[in-house]
Structure 1
Amino acid sequence: MSDKDMYYNKAKQQGYRARSAYKLQQLDETAGLLGDGDTVVDLGAAPGGWMQVAAERVGPTGTVVGVDRQNISDLDDPEATVEYVRGDITEDWTREEIRSVVGADDDRPVDVVVSDMAPNMSGEYDLDHARSVHLARQAFDVATELLGPGGDLAVKVFDGRDLADLEADIDEEFEYVRQIRPDASRDSSSELYLVAKNFLTAPVRPGDTLEVEITDTGEEGDGIARVDGFTLFVPDAEEGQSYRVTVDDVKPRFGFAEIVE
């Protein structure tokens, strides 16, 4: 039996709407995307297989928002908090509707954005690759608008010449990004998923040089500076002094910098 038949039959037996449900399961098991109580936005969600997996894994205290141009039938899961947005993510109205549904304007950020979107296939490899990159960038844009500090992104893209640039752009906004090819993907497919972990909302990036004032001292003795509310730890810095520093590393909620001699 081919992998296609195996996952198709397994989905039918286990009540999933699409064999692609197992891709999200495998992405989650590999990268730890979905947690209890998370708010998840699923882009290109129809027919709802990824929504089913997400709803199972975030539990009754979590929320799953499915977005697609097509209608998505209600999930048969009375415990899950599930919302639906019908629209095209390239349109401002759709993005505003997503923000409204998840309460992004009320400081309730999204924890995870996932996208299994794929273009209508032309059969011309370079064109299909370019279209997949365009859709992936749309998902990336939505993620940067909605994710809270430390949030995650998983987005499908076809392998090809523009992949490296896309991966580099995503990597700038997250702590790290990696490529994952789930076993549930067809052997003949060029699809892979870029999984980006720990969204960075910091006002600084590694390599930045700036003037800071040390306003506090941490438990390890490092000086603490605040940059637009973001915490920078500066070794060998004294409280009450100002320094010129270079940022070495940035995490979702804090960073590290060294004094410039």
Structure 2
Amino acid sequence: MPRKDQYYNRAKQQGYRARSAFKLKQLNESSGLLSPGDHVVDLGAAPGGWLQVAAEEVGEHGKVVGVDLQRIKELEARNVTTIRGDMTEEETKEKLLAELGEDGADVVLSDMAPNMTGEYNLDHARSVYLARQAFEVALDVLDSGGDLAVKVFDGPDLPDLREDMEKEFQYVRATHPDASRKESSELYLIGKGRITAPIRTGDELEVEIVDVGSEGDGIAKVEDFTVFVSGTETGDVVTVEITDVKPRFAFAERVADE
């Protein structure tokens, strides 16, 4: 049985609106995107297959907000809200932020794809443009530690997009789920662990050690963000280089005095 028939039939049998629901299921299995209680944004959500999967995974205490220019037929799931609009417009963004509330989103998903022209370079470039739109939305709404999954067609503009994402997440990986058609150039970039820290790896700065942690490392604060500095004591004022940044804390090493 051809791959497209397999997933199309399974979607019909299991009540999903699109075969693409199985792409999200597989992305979630491999990357751990969705957890009970999460607040999720689905960009380009019509006809609603990804909304159905996300609603199942986050459960009754979670929330899923779908955004699309097209009308999305109402779903039975009570934890799903939809917004009809263009995410490049401020009005749509304000509606999304109002739905999410102060805590923002834990996950941003995008299965957006351009209208295909059959010209590879053009279709690739348009897919990267849409992926960047989703990336920009993620930077606006993701809470610290949040995740992003975005579809893009493979091609020459992909490394620049991935590099930009790697600056904002703990790590980024590319994957091609089995439910994607074998001949398709589509893949998904998965950004895990949104970094909202006021510092980045490689930064050098002067800090004051205000406390010592349970592991013996000195603790400094940069705009209320915690930085652990090995080999320091309370009261030290030292120049450090940031070596690793996590969503809620970072590690640093002292820069040797010249």
The normalised TM-score by structure 2 is 0.98
Identity of aligned residues (%): 63
CA–CA distance in structure 1, aligned partners of residues 45 and 224 of structure 2? 36
Partner SS for 2:197? coil
The Cα shift of 1:96 comes to 1.3
CA–CA distance in structure 1, aligned partners of residues 210 and 107 of structure 2? 34
Partner SS for 1:99? helix
Letter in 2 for 1:102: L
Q: Deviations over 1:37-84 (max 9, x none)?
A: 00000000000000000000000000000000001111123xx41111
Counterpart of 1:53 in structure 2 is 53
Counterpart of 1:71 in structure 2 is 71
The Cα shift of 1:91 comes to 1.4
The Cα shift of 1:128 comes to 0.3
The Cα shift of 1:11 comes to 0.3
Residue 97 (structure 1) aligned with residue 95 (structure 2) = yes
The Cα shift of 1:188 comes to 1.1
CA–CA distance in structure 2, aligned partners of residues 258 and 226 of structure 1? 14
Q: Deviations over 1:169-202 (max 9, x none)?
A: 0010000000010000011110000000000000
Counterpart of 1:217 in structure 2 is 212
Aligned with 1:255 (options 241, 250, 256): 250
The Cα shift of 1:3 comes to 0.5
CA–CA distance in structure 1, aligned partners of residues 4 and 63 of structure 2? 30
Counterpart of 1:31 in structure 2 is 31
Letter in 2 for 1:94: T
The Cα shift of 1:120 comes to 0.5
Q: Deviations over 1:140-179 (max 9, x none)?
A: 0000000011000000000000000000000100000000
The Cα shift of 1:252 comes to 0.5
1:110-149 maps to which residues of 2 (within 5 A)?
A: 110-149=105-144
Counterpart of 2:84 in structure 1 is 86
The Cα shift of 1:92 comes to 1.6
Counterpart of 2:230 in structure 1 is 235
Contact 2:97 2:104 in 1 (8 A): no
Residue 12 (structure 1) aligned with residue 12 (structure 2) = yes
Counterpart of 2:166 in structure 1 is 171
Letter in 2 for 1:63: K
CA–CA distance in structure 2, aligned partners of residues 240 and 28 of structure 1? 46
The Cα shift of 1:232 comes to 0.2
Partner SS for 2:231? coil
Aligned with 1:245 (options 220, 240, 246): 240
The Cα shift of 1:35 comes to 0.1
Contact 2:128 2:153 in 1 (8 A): yes
The Cα shift of 1:257 comes to 0.4
Partner SS for 1:142? helix
CA–CA distance in structure 2, aligned partners of residues 109 and 253 of structure 1? 16
Aligned with 1:188 (options 173, 177, 183): 183
Which segment is superposed worse, 11-20 or 68-77?
68-77
The Cα shift of 1:10 comes to 0.5
Letter in 2 for 1:164: P
